[in-house]
Amino acid sequence: MTNYVFPENFWWGSAASGPQTEGRVAGDGKGENIWDHWYDLEPEKFFNQVGPSKTSQVYTKYKEDVALMKATGHNTFRTSIQWSRLLPNGTGKVNEQAVTFYRTYFEELIENGIEPFVNLFHFDMPMPLQEKGGWLARETVDAYAEYAKTCFELFGDLVKKWFTHNEPIVPVEGGYLYQFHYPNHVNFKEAVQVGFHENLASAKAIQIYHETGQDGEIGIILNLTPSYPRDENNAEDVKAAAIADAFFNRSFLDPAVKGEFPQELIDIVKELDIMPVMEEGDLTIIQENKVDLLGINYYQPRRIKAKETPIDKDRAPLPDDYFDNYDMPNKKMNPYRGWEIYEKGIYDILTNTRENYGNIKCFISENGMGVEGEERYVNEQGMIEDDYRIEFVTDHLKYVHQAIQEGTNCLGYHMWTCMDNWSWTNAYKNRYGFIAVDLDQDGKRTIKKSGHWFKEVATNNGFDA
Ligand code: FCB
């Protein structure tokens, strides 16, 4: 039996986001974002046709939710401000009801000993800005900088940990390459421009935050997916994996932490003649405004092999022209969601940040297990016995612990998520929470077995295994 004790003041908690939890109440003043718009347009694209208004209703239930977070051992919690709630038009006039809501929510957290970590952008582009091109448009970078400044001014006395984006590669992949986010384009050139603007916007927000002189920190949340080559002794596989890594991880990790873009990426973008439009001084802003801390979301790795399937010459290029996904035999799968489970990936990411990114201050900002049909595990007392989730978190935490023992500057672990919440087009299909939400009973909350377990872990600052 080993004693897994974590460093003092370790951050135990979970993450969520505004668009996935708040819901919409008549008269709350919220403007439209891309999710509201897309759902109205094509509700059939969403699992069981459940859209962004039918979320876990934190807008009205936040007091109960904070009490539940406390009951499950949280000392920290991340959510996001919804841009379209605070600034219904994307810029300009502030919605005062939103200010009251967020201030009250954050105060409630603080009063209960839970520090709020606040993210500015979690996939929720306000519709008036999307109509002008969203992240494709330079105007959005300026609008975002104004929005960030407004947030620091309105909430900076309460919030000391800010994040510029959650998983900024996802709007690039979903919106401009693989069609799982609005506007569902497939255009590599646009994808590159969107990624560049997101990076620039992040650096600008960091600059603005540091200029306020507030006594907090600002970072970014990245979903880092280690890219493992099929065969480490095969130079072509190794090269393909490095390219996938440059596209999906280093495209944001390098600018955020080192202030520069990876050379592999620049080479490809130049070769394809799809360099983004930039203004003079942009690269200096990125170079000079790096993150104070890094949030790492980890779910599953990428398995990569050298390109074997021929490229379809009739279609425009995509990142996939440089590698193939490798379906590794005998990999461990989450039987409820079809994602690979590879616990050591979390250790590899943490080791990489220590060895290659100056051992930057970091924390695990999301990790978790999506489960479809979880109701089947309800016991006679009405509690979901999610032993699989306890095992999943334990196995990952062991590797986090090992990385810390070896010197990685990892300050915390946040589960995705606390309350089951609305997961974009998957809606409520896969449940991730350690607290169940019953949509048929007005969002009734019940702590799962994992929630009680997490409370123990947080209280003891570790576990024995
Ligand atoms: C992550 C997102 C989060 C949630 C989980 C399941 O990629 O950050 O919003 O959807 O996946």
Structure tokens at 231: 């065969």
Identify the sign of the CA torsion 7, 11, 428, 167: negative
Q: Please give the CATH number for the structural domain made up of 3-464.
A: 3.20.20.80
Would you tell me the crossing angle of helices 188-212 and 251-258 to the nearest 10 degrees? 30
CA of 101 to the centre of ligand 1 (A): 23
Ligand 1 atom nearest to 123, measured from its CA:
9
* pLDDT for the residue numbered 2: 72
CA of 72 to the centre of ligand 1 (A): 21
pLDDT digits (tens, 9 = 90+) for 352-410: 999 999 999 999 999 999 999 999 999 999 999 999 999 999 999 999 999 999 999 99
166 lines ligand 1 (CB under 6 A): yes
Ligand 1 atom nearest to 20, measured from its CA:
9
Ligand 1 atom nearest to 170, measured from its CA:
7
366 lines ligand 1 (CB under 6 A): yes
Catalytic residue among 308, 366, 372, 456: 366
223 lines ligand 1 (CB under 6 A): yes
Planar angle of CA 105, 217, 414, nearest 5 degrees? 60
The residue whose CA is least distant from atom 10 of ligand 1 is 423
* pLDDT for the residue numbered 54: 84
17 lines ligand 1 (CB under 6 A): yes
CA of 238 to the centre of ligand 1 (A): 28
CA of 423 to the centre of ligand 1 (A): 7
CA of 212 to the centre of ligand 1 (A): 30
Query: Where in the chain are the domains?
Result: 3-464
Give the Å distances, CA to CA, from 431 to 223, 299, 355, 434.
19, 14, 35, 9
| pTM greater than the 0.90 cutoff | yes
- For residues 193-228, b (16+ Cβ closer than 10 Å) or e, as one string? bbbbbbbbbbbbbbbbbeeeebebbbbbbbbbbbbb
Ligand 1 atom nearest to 221, measured from its CA:
8
The residue whose CA is least distant from atom 6 of ligand 1 is 423
Cα 98 to Cα 249: distance, rounded to the nearest angstrom: 33
Give the Å distances, CA to CA, from 329 to 93, 193, 274, 332, 340.
55, 36, 36, 9, 11
The strand order across the sheet containing 227-229 reads 227-229, 302-305, 324-325
Does 131 participate in catalysis according to the annotation?
Answer: no
Percent of the chain with pLDDT over 90: 97
Those residues of the chain that have pLDDT short of 50 are none
Structure tokens at 55: 């979320």
* pLDDT for the residue numbered 312: 87
Backbone conformation region of residue 401, classed left if phi is above 0, alpha if psi is from -120 to 50, else beta: alpha
Give the Å distances, CA to CA, from 22 to 65, 76, 210, 287.
12, 19, 29, 35
